[in-house]
Structure formats: structure tokens, C-alpha cells
Structure 1
Amino acid sequence: MPWSNDGKGGGSWKPDNPGPWGQPPRPNPVDFEDWLRRAQARLRSWLPGGGLGGRALLALGLLGVLLWLLSGFYTVGPNEVGLNMIFGRYTGKTSSGLNYNLPYPVGSVEKLAVTDRNTINIGFVSRMDDRTGEEATFDLPEESLMLTGDQNIADVKFVVIWQIDPSHPEDYAFNVADPDDTVKAVAESAMRAVIGRSLIQNILTADRKVIEPAVQDGMQKILDNYKAGVLVLQVQLQSVDPPQEVISAFRDVTAAQQDRDRMRNEAETYANNVVPVARGQAAALVQQAEGYRLQTIDEATGQASRFAQVEAQYKNAPAVTRERIYLETMEKILGGSDKVIVDPGSGQGVLPYLPLPQLAPSNADGASK
């Protein structure tokens, strides 16, 4: 199988002498020096003057350098930030649009989608069910079961929404090896810390809206300390339940708490209706007592003033004043009692044993008839 050279820098193997087993023999290795001579001859034919001068080599070198420098232009998308590196060292970041950095192998560019939102599920996972072919949710008890502050167990499932911090994308690129696992571990740790400080009853009822911002703040502080370049946008509780084995008992407790709250609200409503009425009655009694006090004071003041006037008149005419005082006193004493007046000059005596006061009304009725 001889080598055929057509004079054009190429050749071919012709299987004229096959091997003993009907296969073509292994070709001889290519003569590299001969191939290099042919390439030089072809290059001389292309260059003016038929040779490689110093200027031609310089022009080729400059053209190569220029093409290499032009390859350093790159574009950054509207949702991205570019990180420029020179020999693997970070030198700065670029915004969206056309930018430039020294090309490979001197420089390199890493583009990060800083506005894309990422979601991590903790306590459950969503994947396609092989039997039904639909997306299904599967629980992960090793992630969701957490110990509360009163030594109970809560089944907590939640979702964390995060993105790359646009102000520090270099921290995300160079300080975090596996961002998803890091954010998930920090989220689980922050949630367990918050649940560990809370009571089971509060977690199941009133504190659910308090847990989300507390976990978000805790995660952000930890990630900032790590300089992870991650911005936590939201923490959403999907479900907070007791373990499946005791969920019925907890539901009974929750129902009892709801009844307690209802009865408390009814009692407060009754108190709100009764207390104002009682306060009004108390105010009325106070006003009546105040009026009685003022009336008594005024009467006592008037009597004192009258006594002073009588005293002044008594000094001027004692006999007349005594007679007047006697008559007024007798009037007060005898004015409201039954009286029988007997005229001694009528010539008729009165038996002393007759009950004159008791007979007076009957006599008066007989007279009227």
C-alpha cells in the first residue's frame, strides 16, 4: 500500500497490497518535517514578495493581538451582573449592557442572575409521582419535626424565597460553594431556634404570623455574617401541626381553647354592658348625696342665721320673744296630733275615764251623716 503524493500538499493510501488476513496494512507515520516544508511553501506563495520578512511577522503579530483584545467584549443581560477577573482575581462588577474585560487566558467573566428568585422547600419535597404521573408532595420528617420550648414536637413545613444580593454578588460567587444547601441549612437552623423558644399552643394559634419575620431576620443575620451574598426575601409557613400520632388530642385542645376564648368574649361583652349602667347608677347616687349634703348645709346655715336674728330680737324684747318662741314651739308639737278642746264655761262636765280621742272620729262621722 504505497503513499501517493499529488504535489498539492496531500496524499492518500491505496490498498494495493492488502495484509495476509485481507486487511490493509498499518500506514507509515506522516513525515512532519515534509509537511512543515510544504506549509511554508504555501505561505510564501500567499505573501507579497514570496517571503516572510520582519514586517510581515510584526503585522501578523499585531493583527493577532488586536483580534485577541477584541474578543474581550461581552454583553450582560438585564437580570445579570458581570464579575470581572484577571488571572482568577476579582477586579470589579459590571452592569447590564456591553462591557469589556481582558480575554482568556488573562481575564474571565462570570455572569450571575441577581434578580431571579429561588425557592427552597423545607420539610417536604415536590416531585412527579411515578404511579400517577402527577406532581405530588412528600413529607421529610427529618427536616420538619422540631422541638418546642415546652418539650413538645411540632411538624413545621415552610418555604424560603431568596435571591442573590445585587449589592454584593461577589460574595455569592466566591464565598459560597453550594448556595442551595447553605441557604437550606441556615433556614432550618433559624426555624429550629425560633420554635425552640416558643410554646406549642402559641405556635399552633397566635404566633404563626410572628414566626415568619423572626426566621427571616435570623437567616439574614447569619448569612450576612457568613458574607454569603444572599438576600432573603420571604419565609412562608406552609403548615404547623403536631405530630400525626397526637394530632387528634391537639385538635381537642384547640377546640377547648376556642370555647374558652368565646366564653371570655361573651363575658367581656356582658361586662361592657353592665359596667356602664352600674357606673351611671353610682354617679346618680353620688349626685343625690351631693345634693342632700348641700341642702343640709343650706338648711343648717339658714337656721343658724335665723337663730342669730331671734337672739338679736330677744335682746330688744325678751318677754315678747319668749312668748313667740313658746307659741311656735307648741304649734310644732301640737300641730300634727289629735286634740279635743273643752270649754269650761259651757256648764257640761267631762268624765275623766271616757276615751275622748278614740270617740272623736266616730262622732265626726255621725255628724257628717
Structure 2
Amino acid sequence: MPWQDNSGNRGGGRGPWGQPPRDPGGSGNNNNGGGGRGEPPDLEDLLQASRQRLKRAFPRGGRGGGGGGGGQGGGMPPLNKGVIGLIAAGLVGLWLFSGVYQVASDELAVVTTFGDYENVNGPGLHWHIPAPIQSVRKQQVLSVRDMPVPAANRRGGQLSPGLMLTGDKNIVDVAFIVQWRIKSDLVAPQGEEMPGVAQYTFNIDDPEGLVRMTAEAAMREVVGRNTLDFVQTEGRTDVASQTRDLMQTALDAYDAGIQIERVNLTLAEPPTNEVNEAFRDVQAAEQNQATVIQQARQYTNRIVPEARGEAQRILEEAGAYAAERTADARGQAARFNDIYEEYARAPEVTRQRMYLETVEKVLGDVDKIIIDEDAGSGVVPYLPLDQVRRQQQQGAN
């Protein structure tokens, strides 16, 4: 269908649906382009009406700013209370959703209200009133931090930061490592206003500097109370333990919220190489002395019981011998008395008996051959009769 109808009035000014054009100012009787005659709406009238509404909703500086250029200016959708309410609700929802936060398993979250401490939340999903009302500061409380003290142990003519004066007026070069972490209490201890993690967040600005300063001060105090030998040898563990206790006491007094886990003493030597070598020689001599003393004690522990046992054995043998000799002497005396009484009664018989017993005792263990006087008249005196007898015994066996 042609956009112009030549049969109409005003030089073909009717639209494609047979409707005459409207006033560009939008002053027609019906804004929907119906013309009151049941005709379909004019597309140009609809666009023009939309432009007019946008101009009224968003004026651009005067009457002449939005009137020209009928179909040239762009527009925005009309704003009303419903749209503004939806936008405001969306913004409020986004603002509230921004208060959701996640706390990791090794963290604690300190919640503040207008900068003041509110509470501490543990691991998990939480919500707080979004900024600027409340804010959250997360701290890692389970990770242990290592801090070497001194930070740089300089040598080569310059004084080392680890040089300390001992109780016996000697100088020792000390280096150690401090292991610390943030306290993980969720509630404040008795007598405290905030838990440790909140104290760490609010009360200190430079935690590493505070720990380093406290460590150096505590170590100097402990070293100053002990001798050089004690610090360098058997007292290293005690020095580290006392330093840790002093550091913890000082940090608790500062309400720092820091927990000292361990202090490891890594260096405790004289400041120069010459003195260090001499001290190592002294340590080696002391170790050799301790070794020799230990060996001597082991030898003593082995020899003394053996000597005591040998002495006890000799004493017991001497006692047994004395008892034996005493009993034998008493038996001999009693036998002599008995023989004397028998001799007093019968001297000849007793004398003969004593002779025979003596000969029996003397000749009892002698290998002898007795030859009858009559049978031995023809025997050669040099005949080895003992050998003959031994041969006879072997032949009998």
C-alpha cells in the first residue's frame, strides 16, 4: 500500500492507513493514534509520543533543548515509582549480600563496628553488616612464623648485632630463631577485654619489629645472668627456655596477642676466630677429661667388686684353714693323750703298735716288693723288680 494517497487533501498528507498526520507537538485528541474513528494507530504518532514522554521525564535544559529534530533524538525507558523501587531493592540486596564472607580453616575474623571491636568468628561462612557500618579483618592464627635474631649477623671487622655480655664479663656472639604465631582464642581470657587475635589486630602496628625487639631484650637479660661456659655448653637449652618465658611475659603485658612457640639457640660462640679456636680447644680438653674420668669410673666399678670378692674369698679360705689346723691340732693332742694313757698301762704293746703304725704311714704309699728271706737268697740285687711287677700287672689286664 503506498504511503501517500493522492486523492486526499493537503497534497497527499495522509498516512499509510488513511489517517491524516498529527501535530508534531502531540496535541491530538487521542495519544494512541486511533483518531476516534477505530482506525489503526499511526507508527509515527507512537514514536513521537514516546519521545515527548522522555523529554518531559528527562528535560535537557529548557524548552528549546528537546523540541527540535522530531525523530533524531534517542530516549530512555520511562521511570516511575515501580522501576525506582525495583532498582532500590536490587541495590539494597547487593549491599546486604556484600556482607557475606568466608573464613578459612587456619584463620580467624575480627568484626568491627564503625572501627570498634565487635566479636571474633571462626572458620566457616559468616555475615556482617556491610560497610561502612561493619568490616572484617582476617588473620592467619595457625601458621607459625620463623624470625631469625639477629636479622643479619655481620662479621669481618664490624660488631655483630648478636654480641652480648655474660655474667662473668665475657662477650659471646648469640644467634637464635624465634617461632611465634597469633593467639587463636575466640573469646577473651579472664581479665582481658579482647581475645588474642583482636589484640594483635588493634594494639600493635609492627608485630615483627615488636617480636624482634622483645627477643633481643629477653636474650640479653638471660645471657647476662649466666656465665660464658654455661651459655655455650650445657646451658643452651635452659637459656632458650628462659628467653621464651621472658618474651611471653613481656608480650602478654603489651596485650600483643602473640604466642611464642619455641626459641632455638643456633649460635653461641666468642666473637673472634682466635678466641673461638681457643675455646674449642678448651671444650675438646674438657670432653677428653670427661671421657678419661668416665673410663676411670668404669674401671673402678669393675675392679673394686672383683678385689672385694677376692679378699672375701681369701678371708674365707684363711678362716677354713685356721679352723682345719685348729681341729687337727686338737685331734692330735687328744690322740696323744689317749696313746699316753694306753702306754702307761702297757708300754711294750703300745710301743710295738706305734712302731707298726709309723712304718705303715711311711711305707704305705711306696711301691715296694717284699721278698721272703728264704725265697730271695738267689735273687740278683740289681734285678728291676718294679718293672717286672708292672709288666705282670699289664699282662693280667
Aligned partner of 1:122 among 146, 149, 160:
149
SS at 1:121 equivalent: strand
Q: Indicate the residue corresponding to 1:265 in structure 2.
A: 291
Alignment of 1:1-369 (within 5 A): 9-10=59-60, 45-47=78-80, 52=81, 65-125=92-152, 141=159, 143-167=161-185, 168-244=196-272, 247-266=273-292, 268-269=294-295, 272-273=298-299, 276-277=302-303, 279-304=305-330, 307=333, 319-320=344-345
Return the offset for 1:231: 2.0
Return the offset for 1:278: 5.5
Q: Indicate the residue corresponding to 2:70 in structure 1.
A: none
257-266 or 179-188: bigger deviation: 257-266
> One-letter code of the match for 2:150?
G
SS at 1:159 equivalent: strand
SS at 1:124 equivalent: coil
Return the offset for 1:191: 0.8
Q: Deviations over 1:15-70 (max 9, x none)?
A: xxxxxxxxxxxxxxxxxxxxxxxxxxx999311xxxx5xx9988776665544333
Q: Is the 8 A contact 2:160 2:173 kept in 1?
A: no
Q: Is the 8 A contact 1:112 1:169 kept in 2?
A: yes
Return the offset for 1:267: 5.2
Q: Is the 8 A contact 1:125 1:138 kept in 2?
A: no
Return the offset for 1:80: 2.1
Q: Is the 8 A contact 1:124 1:137 kept in 2?
A: no
> Cα gap change, 1:125/1:316 in structure 2, threshold over 3 Å: closer, same or farther?
closer
Q: Indicate the residue corresponding to 1:354 in structure 2.
A: none
SS at 1:149 equivalent: coil
In the alignment, the residues of structure 2 paired with residue 162 and residue 139 of structure 1 have an alpha-carbon distance, to the nearest angstrom, of 32
> One-letter code of the match for 1:265?
T
> Cα gap change, 1:98/1:268 in structure 2, threshold over 3 Å: closer, same or farther?
closer
> Cα gap change, 1:213/1:74 in structure 2, threshold over 3 Å: closer, same or farther?
same
> Cα gap change, 1:310/1:89 in structure 2, threshold over 3 Å: closer, same or farther?
farther
Return the offset for 1:156: 1.4
Write 1 or 2 for the structure with the bigger share of helix. Answer: 1
> One-letter code of the match for 1:153?
I
In the alignment, the residues of structure 1 paired with residue 218 and residue 170 of structure 2 have an alpha-carbon distance, to the nearest angstrom, of 18
User: With structure 2 as the length reference, what TM-score do the two structures score?
Assistant: 0.56
> One-letter code of the match for 2:326?
A
Q: Deviations over 1:129-148 (max 9, x none)?
A: xxxxxxx9999847422110
Q: Indicate the residue corresponding to 1:3 in structure 2.
A: none
In the alignment, the residues of structure 1 paired with residue 175 and residue 341 of structure 2 have an alpha-carbon distance, to the nearest angstrom, of 105
Identity %: 25
Return the offset for 1:276: 2.7
Q: Give 5+ residue unaligned stretches, structure 1.
A: 1-5, 12-41, 127-135, 333-369
SS at 1:46 equivalent: coil
> Cα gap change, 1:250/1:262 in structure 2, threshold over 3 Å: closer, same or farther?
same
Count of equivalent residues: 276
> One-letter code of the match for 1:189?
A
Q: Is the 8 A contact 2:150 2:175 kept in 1?
A: yes
Larger radius of gyration: 2
In the alignment, the residues of structure 1 paired with residue 285 and residue 212 of structure 2 have an alpha-carbon distance, to the nearest angstrom, of 39
Write 1 or 2 for the structure with the bigger share of strand. Answer: 1
In the alignment, the residues of structure 1 paired with residue 346 and residue 278 of structure 2 have an alpha-carbon distance, to the nearest angstrom, of 90
In the alignment, the residues of structure 2 paired with residue 139 and residue 212 of structure 1 have an alpha-carbon distance, to the nearest angstrom, of 28
Once superposed, what is the RMSD of the aligned Cα atoms?
Answer: 4.2
